[in-house]
């Protein structure tokens, strides 16, 4: 979602925590502030005429330090995130999202190896805030939504957040047993863009740190991940394709 606070910053951090799943974008907004934040994100992409966004990743010590394409995002004229194609062999998949006339994210279908794998649906209040993330529905590959093999309820994990001046400052993540799993702190630039996310373990020790930079037009530019010793573990660079005037 964020813009993440703008596009994909949170998604990238989740990706570093859960390598098996590449989130397409933010979860639907749960507060009025998040509704406005995502509306601002869409407006920014529409104003900049962003059509595609590619993420290139460099991991020191891997592939000779070469930069590789990780994923490509596609947006519509209104700035909504329509499609994500992950080309990284370990997570290759394609996700497609649908929106209603008010811009609410209705559902997302995920395809792996050319077959529908999952479908997640959402419901909203009149103010545009999500009230229900129903399930992750898993289907028998190739059954065209015909044979549902599992419905995974998204419960058991609880988060607690604090906000200041309309921006998230901290987030604690608790496991299904109620114990603290991770704590996050968020820092911002003077312009209000996300500057850094720090993740700590339950004892308060730094586990990782993520530093964000932005282009002059306030689109994301780079994300640099650091390990607990401060060493760089990954650098992600954003590249954009823009629509021509009148298109």
Q: Pick the range with the lowest mean pLDDT from 6-10, 28-32, 68-72.
A: 6-10
Q: Does residue 8 register a pLDDT over 60?
A: no
Interstrand relation of 105-112 and 93-99 (parallel, antiparallel or unpaired): antiparallel
pTM of the model: 0.76
pLDDT of 147-188, one tens digit each? 555 555 555 667 888 888 878 899 998 887 889 999 999 999
CA atoms within 13 A on the CB side of 83: 10
For 9-242, give the CATH class.
mainly beta
Q: Does residue 4 register a pLDDT over 50?
A: no
How many helices, marked H, and strands, marked E, lie in the chain? 2, 15
CA atoms within 13 A on the CB side of 5: 28
Closest to 245 in 3D by CA, of 33, 11, 6, 49: 49
Q: Does residue 16 register a pLDDT over 80?
A: no
Mean pLDDT of 7-20: 37
pLDDT of 51-109, one tens digit each? 999 999 999 877 778 899 999 999 999 999 999 999 988 889 999 999 988 888 888 99
Pair of tokens at residue 220: 């994301």
More confident site: 125 or 219: 219
User: Which H or E run contains 42?
Assistant: helix 32-47
Pair of tokens at residue 81: 């995130």
pLDDT computed for residue 88 by the predictor = 87
pLDDT computed for residue 194 by the predictor = 93
CA–CA separation, 196 and 222 (whole Å):
12
Where along the chain do its domains lie? 9-242
pLDDT computed for residue 136 by the predictor = 60
More confident site: 244 or 33: 244
């Amino acid at each position: 979602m964020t813009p993440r606070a703008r596009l994909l910053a949170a998604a990238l951090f989740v990706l570093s925590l859960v390598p098996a799943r590449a989130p397409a974008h933010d979860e639907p907004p749960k507060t009025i502030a998040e509704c406005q934040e995502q509306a601002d994100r869409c407006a920014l992409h529409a104003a900049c005429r962003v059509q595609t966004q590619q993420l290139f990743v460099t991991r020191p010590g891997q592939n000779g330090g070469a930069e590789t394409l990780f994923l490509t995002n596609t947006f519509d004229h209104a700035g909504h995130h329509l499609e994500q194609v992950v080309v990284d062999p370990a997570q290759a998949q394609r996700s497609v999202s649908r929106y209603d006339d008010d811009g609410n994210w209705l559902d997302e279908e995920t395809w792996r190896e050319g077959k529908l794998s999952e479908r997640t649906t959402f419901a909203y209040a009149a103010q545009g805030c999500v009230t229900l993330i129903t399930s992750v529905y898993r289907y028998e590959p190739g059954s065209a939504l015909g044979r549902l093999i599992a419905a995974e309820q998204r419960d058991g994990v609880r988060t607690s957040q604090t906000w200041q001046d309309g921006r998230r400052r901290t987030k604690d993540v608790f496991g299904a047993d109620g114990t603290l799993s991770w704590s996050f702190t968020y820092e911002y630039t003077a312009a209000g863009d996300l500057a850094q996310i720090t993740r700590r373990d339950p004892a308060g020790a730094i586990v990782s740190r993520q530093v964000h930079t932005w282009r002059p037009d306030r689109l994301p530019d780079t994300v640099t991940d650091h390990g607990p010793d401060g060493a760089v573990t990954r650098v992600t660079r954003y590249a954009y394709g823009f629509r021509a005037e009148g298109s």
